[in-house]
């Protein structure tokens, strides 16, 4: 007899419903049974619009409900802490957003609550599940570039510019009380990728600053109070050096680039904005000639374009659909006792420690050592 489906409750009718809901629904063994917003009328409307059976206007009630197995926590970092703590306190499995927390204290309390709960808890760092990235890691581990010498990762796009705000739904990034900055938001995603590929970070140097001091939005002006660029030099516990660039106000920015090189070649993943399954391309060269920049596009093998028990299609442009579904599928399988879910709260805490250390390194103009965890 087949096991009953795992029942998911989603908090948020914005990103959670629009991006996460299709990914959850693409999986066998999963049923999205509830959605939660902050008011009864918006919860009822969201349930109707997204064809979800139950509506909640109190996340605590959702967390306590015995007919929900997984709580997917949307919204911004300061609000998510209470949601995650309520869900873990009720013994639920949890999916949490990025940045993991508004500060290090919240990050540690969520991590510790997860350890006590003994449930499966995962964060929204789905870059590592993009097919081009999965294949890239497998090729590196198979020795395609030889001994690994270093890596650069950059995410540089004009989310905000002096002419217009291109992502009006994300003006909350401007307020430091929300735990936001280019290093915390864009940087957290890239740090998860670096840690996934190369292991924990042992030390870093950083420079962070604010350049664009006004964002125009519907006749008003938003005055950001957080850095819009971050440059990090990282030394992993293995000794490998890597570099990270985050900039959300760079006009003509090249989007996302992740380059890894070694003794025999180089691999690079590229995407026009945030890396997705349908638009992230993989390039490589094993040409050692001086001055050669001949990077050829490499095909993504079919094995990396499908996930067992998942009906998401890799080339569809919905936001993060296949990569999100891949993370959700590992979470589903881990709950069932097969394999482990990733990126889990242990990795999330480490990345948040790196994020906070980068702020200190920039402020104090020095290298900062980090106690590398056993991930």
Reported confidence tier of residue 291, pLDDT bands at 50, 70, 90: low
- Please state the domain count of the chain: 2
- 79 and 168 share one domain: no
- 301 and 198 share one domain: yes
What is the number of other CB atoms lying within 10 angstroms of the CB of residue 65?
18
At 57-101, the pLDDT tens digits run: 999 999 999 999 999 998 889 999 999 999 999 999 999 999 999
Question: What pLDDT sits at residue 105?
Answer: 95
Residue 154 belongs to domain spanning: 128-305+351-364
At 255-285, the pLDDT tens digits run: 999 999 999 999 999 999 999 999 999 999 9
Reported confidence tier of residue 1, pLDDT bands at 50, 70, 90: low
Q: How far is CA 200 from the centre of its chain?
A: 16
At 176-196, the pLDDT tens digits run: 999 999 999 999 999 999 999
Cα separation of 267 and 145, whole Å?
Answer: 7
Using alpha carbons, select from 275, 312, 315, 279 the residue that is nearest to residue 297: 279
- The answer to whether residue 191 sits within a structural domain is yes
116-145 mean pLDDT: 97
Residues 349/180, Cβ–Cβ less than 8 Å: no
Q: Per-residue pLDDT for 2 more than 80?
A: no
Question: What pLDDT sits at residue 293?
Answer: 65
Q: Look up the CATH number of the domain holding residue 259.
A: 3.30.360.10
- The answer to whether residue 290 sits within a structural domain is yes
Using alpha carbons, select from 186, 169, 190, 179 the residue that is nearest to residue 249: 186
Q: Per-residue pLDDT for 248 more than 90?
A: yes
Name the H helices within the chain: 15, 21-25, 40-49, 59-64, 77-89, 104-117, 131-141, 186-198, 321-335, 345-364
- 172 and 194 share one domain: yes
Reported confidence tier of residue 243, pLDDT bands at 50, 70, 90: very high
156-175 mean pLDDT: 94
| CA 261 vs CA 209, 241, 355: distances in Å | 29, 11, 24
- DSSP three-state, residue 297: strand
- 207 and 258 share one domain: yes
What tokens were used for 297? 């596009």
Using alpha carbons, select from 323, 271, 303, 300 the residue that is nearest to residue 130: 323
- The answer to whether residue 69 sits within a structural domain is yes
State which of 93, 119, 145 marks the end of a domain.
119
Q: Per-residue pLDDT for 361 more than 80?
A: yes
314-335 mean pLDDT: 87
321-333 mean pLDDT: 94
- 57 and 180 share one domain: no
Question: What pLDDT sits at residue 314?
Answer: 81
- 105 and 181 share one domain: no
Vertex 360, ends 359 and 363: CA angle to 5°? 85
Question: What pLDDT sits at residue 230?
Answer: 98
Question: What pLDDT sits at residue 290?
Answer: 67
Using alpha carbons, select from 141, 77, 136 the residue that is nearest to residue 280: 136
Question: What pLDDT sits at residue 292?
Answer: 64
- The answer to whether residue 337 sits within a structural domain is no
At 9-31, the pLDDT tens digits run: 999 888 778 889 999 999 999 99
Residue 296 has φ and ψ, to the nearest 5°, of -95, 140
- The answer to whether residue 343 sits within a structural domain is no
Region class of 221: left (phi > 0), else alpha (psi between -120 and 50), else beta = beta
- 206 and 100 share one domain: no
- The answer to whether residue 332 sits within a structural domain is no
Q: What is the pTM of this model?
A: 0.95
State which of 85, 119, 153 marks the end of a domain.
119
- The answer to whether residue 286 sits within a structural domain is yes
- 140 and 96 share one domain: no
Q: What is the dihedral of CA 189, 191, 194, 200, to 10 degrees?
A: -140
Cα separation of 273 and 282, whole Å?
Answer: 15
Cα separation of 7 and 54, whole Å?
Answer: 11
Question: What pLDDT sits at residue 301?
Answer: 96
Q: How far apart are the first and last CA of the chain?
A: 36
State which of 72, 92, 119 marks the end of a domain.
119
Q: Look up the CATH number of the domain holding residue 114.
A: 3.40.50.720
Question: What pLDDT sits at residue 287?
Answer: 78
Residues 62/9, Cβ–Cβ less than 8 Å: yes
- The answer to whether residue 345 sits within a structural domain is no
Please provide the average confidence, as pLDDT, over all residues in the chain: 94
Cα separation of 235 and 269, whole Å?
Answer: 21
pLDDT-above-90 percentage for the chain: 87
- 143 and 164 share one domain: yes
Question: 250-262 b/e with 16+ CB inside 10 Å = b?
Answer: beebebbbbbbbb
DSSP 178: G
Cα separation of 290 and 327, whole Å?
Answer: 40
328-352 mean pLDDT: 96
- 40 and 85 share one domain: yes
Q: Per-residue pLDDT for 316 more than 90?
A: no
pLDDT-above-70 percentage for the chain: 97
- 285 and 165 share one domain: yes
Omega before 369 within 30 of 0, i.e. cis: no
- 298 and 178 share one domain: yes
């Amino acid at each position: 007899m087949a096991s009953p489906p795992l029942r998911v409750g989603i908090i948020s009718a914005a990103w959670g419903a629009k991006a996460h809901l299709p990914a959850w629904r693409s999986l066998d063994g999963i049923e999205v049974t509830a959605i939660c917003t902050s008011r009864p009328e918006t919860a009822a409307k969201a349930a109707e619009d997204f064809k979800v059976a139950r509506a909640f206007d109190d996340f605590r009630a959702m967390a306590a409900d015995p007919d929900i197995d997984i709580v997917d926590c949307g919204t911004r970092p300061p609000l998510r802490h209470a949601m995650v703590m309520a869900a873990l306190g009720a013994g639920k499995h949890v999916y949490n957003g990025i940045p993991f927390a508004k500060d290090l204290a919240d990050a540690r309390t969520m991590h510790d609550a997860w350890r006590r709960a003994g449930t499966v808890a995962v964060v929204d760092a789905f870059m590592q599940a993009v097919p081009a990235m999965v294949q890239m890691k497998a090729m590196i581990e198979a020795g395609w570039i030889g001994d690994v010498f270093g890596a650069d990762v950059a995410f540089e796009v004009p989310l905000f510019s002096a002419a217009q705000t291109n992502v009006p739904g994300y003006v909350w990034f401007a307020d430091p009380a929300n735990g936001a900055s280019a290093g915390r938001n864009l940087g957290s995603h890239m740090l998860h990728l670096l840690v996934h590929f190369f292991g924990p970070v042992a030390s870093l140097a950083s420079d962070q600053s604010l350049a664009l001091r006004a964002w125009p939005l519907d006749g008003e002006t938003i005055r950001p109070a957080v850095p819009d660029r971050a440059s990090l030099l990282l030394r992993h516990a293995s000794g490998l050096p890597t570099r990270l660039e985050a900039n959300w106000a760079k006009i003509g920015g090249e989007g996302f680039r992740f380059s890894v090189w070694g003794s025999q070649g180089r691999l690079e993943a590229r995407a026009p904005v945030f890396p997705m399954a349908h638009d992230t391309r993989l390039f490589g060269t094993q040409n050692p000639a001086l001055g050669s920049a001949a990077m050829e596009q490499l095909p993504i093998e079919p094995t990396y374009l499908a996930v067992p028990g998942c009906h998401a299609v890799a080339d569809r442009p919905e936001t993060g659909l296949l990569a999100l579904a891949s993370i959700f599928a590992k979470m589903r399988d881990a709950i069932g006792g097969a394999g482990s879910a990733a990126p889990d709260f242990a990795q999330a805490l480490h990345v948040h420690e790196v994020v906070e250390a980068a702020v200190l390194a920039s402020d104090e103009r020095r290298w900062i050592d980090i106690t590398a965890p056993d991930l």
